């Protein structure tokens, strides 16, 4: 219970890694705001999973690319848990499609950059006034932000590279206020993301090239989030932490 009585907000919290993060934080004692977007069944499953570990959570709909929805999420958080949060985890993101530079148009560019990068900036801006000394922000970048991503993922990779740099800069800005900012760079994690956008044989090849010879799990990523959110990581800020089974080293 290393997060007992803390309040956490998790964007993209209704499924896959986001769900695992919500459940893990609740298991460690945090009260959790589960942001969801398009699937009420996923939302309900996450709330049931949090309840199953003895946790407390609310679910709040928000398109985190829209300021009005972000503001509503802030209001719902205050209504449920008060004017202070301790943990913000910016999980929301997506690849949406694999496209070459010739195939990318302005609408697709805006979609990818807004969901992956703009959301992290403006959700953080909205919730930062609710954070004090000891607060922590955890962003989700990607191994793709370091190596450029797979075929057709250059724009996704660029958006995640922006998250990495945002994390470093914000850590400098907020450090004097006692707020830590870190990011995760997941590699191949077994989620719907890769079910939708990565061919089975590619996944097998990546797993075989990984020193641990497998994909990671959402639970393993959530365990790292809980560590970074805890006082055990009190001198860690500005880091982009790799979690990829040894496929790429810092």
Give pLDDT tens digits for 175-225.
Answer: 999 999 999 999 988 887 777 767 888 889 988 899 999 988 999 999 999
Residue 18 lies in a domain: yes
The pLDDT > 70 percentage for the chain reads 100
Residue 117 lies in a domain: yes
Judge residue 224's burial from the number of C-beta atoms within 10 Å of its C-beta, 0-12 exposed, 13-18 middle, 19 or more buried: buried
Burial class (CB in 10 A: 0-12, 13-18, 19+), 245: buried
In a domain, 175, yes or no: yes
Residues 250 and 230: their CA atoms lie apart, in Å, by: 23
Instruction: Judge whether 137 lies within some domain.
Output: yes
148: in domain? yes
* pLDDT of 141 strictly over 80: yes
Q: What is residue 87's predicted lDDT score, i.e. its pLDDT?
A: 98
DSSP secondary structure of 190-228: -SHHHHHHS-HHHHHHHHHHSTT-S-B-HHHHHHHHHHH
In tens, the pLDDT along 230-244 reads 999 999 999 999 999
Over 80: is that where the pLDDT of 50 sits? yes
What is the mean pLDDT of the segment spanning 13-28? 97
- Contact yes or no for 240/161 (Cβ under 8 A): no
How many CA atoms within 13 Å lie on the side-chain side of 78?
A: 12
pLDDT at 191: 81
**Where in the sequence numbering do the catalytic residues fall?**
156
pLDDT value, residue 133: 97
Asked, for residue 147, whether it belongs to a domain, the answer is yes
How many domains does the chain fold into?
1
Task: Show the domain range for 152.
Answer: 7-243
Is 2 contained in some domain? no
CATH number, domain of 191, equals 3.40.50.720
Cα 170 to Cα 167: distance, rounded to the nearest angstrom: 5
């Amino acid at each position: 219970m290393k997060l007992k009585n803390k309040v956490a907000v998790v964007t993209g919290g209704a499924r896959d890694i986001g769900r695992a993060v919500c459940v893990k934080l609740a298991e460690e004692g945090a009260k959790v705001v589960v942001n969801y977007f398009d699937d009420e069944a996923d939302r309900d499953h996450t709330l049931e999973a949090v309840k199953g570990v003895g946790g407390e959570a609310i679910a709040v709909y928000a398109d985190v690319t829209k300021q009005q929805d972000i503001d509503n999420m802030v209001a719902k958080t205050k209504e449920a848990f008060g004017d202070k949060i301790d943990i913000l985890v910016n999980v929301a993101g997506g690849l949406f499609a694999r496209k070459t530079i010739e195939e990318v148009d302005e609408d697709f560019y805006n979609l990818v950059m807004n969901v992956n990068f703009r959301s992290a900036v403006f959700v953080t801006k909205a919730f930062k006034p609710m954070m004090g000394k000891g607060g922590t922000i955890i962003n989700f970048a990607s191994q793709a932000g370091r190596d450029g991503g797979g075929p057709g993922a250059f724009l996704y990779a660029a958006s995640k590279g922006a998250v990495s740099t945002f994390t470093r800069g914000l850590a400098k800005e907020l450090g004097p206020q006692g707020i830590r900012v870190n990011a995760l760079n997941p590699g191949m994690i077994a989620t719907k993301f890769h079910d939708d956008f990565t061919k089975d044989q590619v996944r097998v090849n990546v797993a075989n090239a990984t020193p641990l010879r497998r994909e990671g799990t959402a639970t393993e990523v959530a365990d790292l989030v809980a560590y970074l959110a805890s006082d055990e990581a009190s001198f860690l800020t500005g880091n982009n932490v790799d979690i990829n089974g040894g496929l790429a080293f810092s």
